[in-house]
């Protein structure tokens, strides 16, 4: 692979007289740092423009922090936000561990209060006997923390440090991270605005769903369980971060459209007539419209709300989609919805055991359900955490008693 222009410049510098060559190398390092900063700024801008809904805020914070750690060649990083007058860590990352990064709250408070960056070249020497046990145990060498601003207000802190190496942050590093933090502050402000709108609407949606489920003892807990199953299936097929939360929430609100359907059709004990079924099937379209009209925070789950009753062979509703033309999240919700309907008591049917329903799913894979997702779903349901969560969600005794006994036996095995 050909050397980059900066690498070529360094190679040329090695051929020059020492004094001149040293200066050229210094210039090359400065240019490389500026190039890295520009790349980081561009990357953050792209991530910010790619935020579709409140679920992407989770990924945005994580990506933003990882970009800062990469830019500063640090070992660990922390994003802390000021909430109700307190500085709270909302995300962290480390090259060496997946555990939450522990940092000095005193240092974070100092950055917020002073509104100025803090940079230490050798934190252990500077703090001496006052160095905390965590600093000594983690062998932290250098620390850099800069304020996140929204206009003239400090809304948080971006923190990085180095471990196990002799790399020490400089004032130039502080200036670079401060520039990154200026853009990050814009991202955080937008993200908080999106999340606030999302949280407000979620609260309303939960009230609507609780009202819906309160009408029918047979559907109590249904939305919670479908959300649980959807998240587990999504995790099993490799989804991460915001996509997992999107699957969870899609499962939770998949039946929101039933609010617009008369109780006559929802509560009917016997089979629906063709005309009644046509009316009932409109709940998927109504649900999509409810979420579309009231907020811009759910674009990523709208296809799942509309299409979770589509079938792999094209005989479902409302659009007769088939195969992979059915959105993947809709296929996930469809399996989870059917599984919960068959394993819980309904006015029109007695519940089946999990084993019985697994057999039905396998039989209908390739006709009703995505044949690739069914094995993953069955595997996901074998996770002990699923059975434990189902036990907690069994608020009204709607899950078959024999199923609960089986789950307890699994948990105690």
Mode of pairing for the β-strands spanning 153-163 and 118-120 = unpaired
Interval 312-331: pLDDT, tens: 999 999 999 999 999 999 99
Residues 63 and 13 in one domain: no
290, part of any domain = yes
What is the count of structural domains for the chain? 3
100-114, 253-267, 310-324, 395-409: which is most confident: 310-324
Whole-structure pTM value: 0.65
Better pLDDT: 390 or 30: 390
Residues 112 and 74 in one domain: yes
Given a cut of 60, is residue 370 above it in pLDDT? yes
Residues 168 and 282 in one domain: no
Interval 155-210: pLDDT, tens: 899 898 887 666 788 888 888 888 888 877 877 787 777 777 767 777 777 777 77
Residues 406 and 266 in one domain: yes
Mean pLDDT of 142-166: 84
6, part of any domain = yes
Cβ atoms of residues 132 and 159 within 8 Å? no
Residues 269 and 131 in one domain: no
Is the peptide bond preceding residue 15 cis, with omega within 30 degrees of 0? Answer: no
Which of 133-137, 354-358, 376-380, 392-396 is the least confident region? 133-137
- Provide the pLDDT for residue 315: 96
- Provide the pLDDT for residue 272: 80
Cβ atoms of residues 407 and 369 within 8 Å? no
Assign 353 a pLDDT band (cuts: 50, 70, 90).
confident
- Provide the pLDDT for residue 397: 44
* Token pair recorded at residue 317: 């509703």
Residues 153 and 234 in one domain: no
- Give the Cα separation of 206 and 212 in Å (integer): 10
* Token pair recorded at residue 403: 């199923």
DSSP state, 369? B
Given a cut of 60, is residue 258 above it in pLDDT? yes
Assign 333 a pLDDT band (cuts: 50, 70, 90).
very high
- Provide the pLDDT for residue 359: 95
Domain holding 154: CATH number?
A: 3.30.450.40
Cβ atoms of residues 87 and 113 within 8 Å? no
397, part of any domain = yes
Domain final position from 158, 192, 226: 192
Cβ atoms of residues 146 and 156 within 8 Å? no
Mean pLDDT of 13-19: 60
Given a cut of 80, is residue 227 above it in pLDDT? yes
Residue 121's alpha-carbon distances to 105, 111, 215, in angstroms, are: 19, 17, 64
Which of 42-51, 104-113, 278-287 is the least confident region? 42-51
197, part of any domain = no
Percent with pLDDT over 90 in the chain: 24
Residues 59 and 20 in one domain: no
- Provide the pLDDT for residue 242: 80
SS3 letters across 305-361: HHHCCCCCCCCCCCCCCCHHHCCHHHHHHHHHHHHHHHHECECCECCCCHHHHHHHH
203, part of any domain = no
**Structural domain for 18, as ranges:** 1-49
75, part of any domain = yes
- Provide the pLDDT for residue 58: 67
205, part of any domain = no
Better pLDDT: 383 or 358: 358
Residues 59 and 43 in one domain: no
* Token pair recorded at residue 307: 């299409």
Residue 219's alpha-carbon distances to 203, 289, 343, in angstroms, are: 20, 22, 12
Residues 16 and 114 in one domain: no
- Provide the pLDDT for residue 396: 45
Interval 34-82: pLDDT, tens: 555 555 545 555 555 555 566 666 677 788 888 888 888 888 899 898 9
Interval 376-405: pLDDT, tens: 999 998 877 777 777 666 544 444 444 544
Residues 145 and 226 in one domain: no
Percent with pLDDT over 70 in the chain: 69
CA atoms within 13 A on the CB side of 323: 1
Domain holding 405: CATH number?
A: 1.10.3210.10
- Provide the pLDDT for residue 220: 64
The dihedral through the CA atoms of 394, 396, 401, 405 has a sign that is positive
Mean pLDDT of 120-136: 54
Domain final position from 138, 161, 192: 192
Residues 138 and 243 in one domain: no
Residues 241 and 154 in one domain: no
Cβ atoms of residues 344 and 222 within 8 Å? yes
- Provide the pLDDT for residue 30: 52
386, part of any domain = yes
């Amino acid at each position: 692979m050909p050397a980059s222009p900066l690498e070529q410049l360094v190679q040329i510098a090695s051929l020059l007289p020492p004094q001149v060559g040293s200066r050229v190398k210094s210039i090359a390092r400065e240019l490389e740092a500026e190039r890295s900063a520009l790349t980081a700024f561009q990357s953050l801008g792209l991530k910010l423009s790619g935020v579709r809904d409140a679920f992407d805020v989770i990924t945005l914070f994580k990506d933003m922090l990882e970009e800062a750690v990469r830019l500063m060649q640090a070992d660990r990083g922390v994003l802390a936000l000021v909430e109700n007058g307190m500085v709270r860590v909302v995300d962290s990352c480390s090259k060496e561990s997946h555990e939450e990064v522990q940092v000095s709250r005193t240092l974070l408070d100092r950055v917020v209060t002073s509104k100025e960056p803090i940079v230490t070249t050798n934190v252990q020497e500077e703090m001496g006997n006052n160095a905390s046990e965590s600093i000594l145990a983690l062998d932290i060498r250098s620390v850099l923390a800069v304020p996140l601003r929204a206009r003239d207000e400090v809304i948080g802190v971006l923190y990085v440090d180095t471990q196990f190496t002799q790399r020490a942050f400089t004032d130039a590093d502080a200036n670079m991270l401060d520039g990154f933090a200026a853009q990050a502050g814009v991202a955080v402000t937008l993200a908080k605005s999106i999340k606030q709108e999302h949280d407000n609407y979620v609260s309303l949606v939960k009230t609507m769903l609780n009202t819906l489920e309160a009408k029918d003892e047979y559907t109590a807990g249904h939305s919670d369980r479908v959300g649980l199953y959807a998240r587990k299936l999504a995790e099993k097929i490799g989804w991460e971060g915001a996509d997992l939360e999107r699957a969870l929430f899609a499962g939770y609100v998949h039946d929101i459209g039933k609010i617009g359907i008369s109780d006559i059709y929802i509560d009917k004990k016997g089979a629906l007539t063709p005309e009644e079924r046509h009316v009932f099937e409109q709940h998927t379209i109504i649900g999509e419209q409810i979420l579309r009209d009231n907020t811009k925070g759910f674009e990523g789950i709208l296809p799942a709300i509309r299409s979770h009753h589509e079938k792999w062979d094209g005989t479902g509703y409302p659009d007769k989609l088939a195969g992979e033309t059915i959105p993947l999240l809709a296929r996930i919700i469809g399996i989870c919805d059917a599984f919960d309907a068959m394993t819980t008591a309904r006015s029109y049917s007695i519940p089946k055991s999990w084993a019985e329903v697994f057999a039905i799913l396998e039989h209908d894979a390739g006709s009703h359900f995505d044949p690739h997702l069914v094995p993953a779903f069955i595997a996901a349901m074998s996770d002990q955490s699923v059975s434990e969560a189902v036990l907690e969600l069994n608020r009204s005794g709607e899950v078959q008693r024999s199923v609960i006994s089986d789950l307890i036996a699994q948990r105690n095995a």
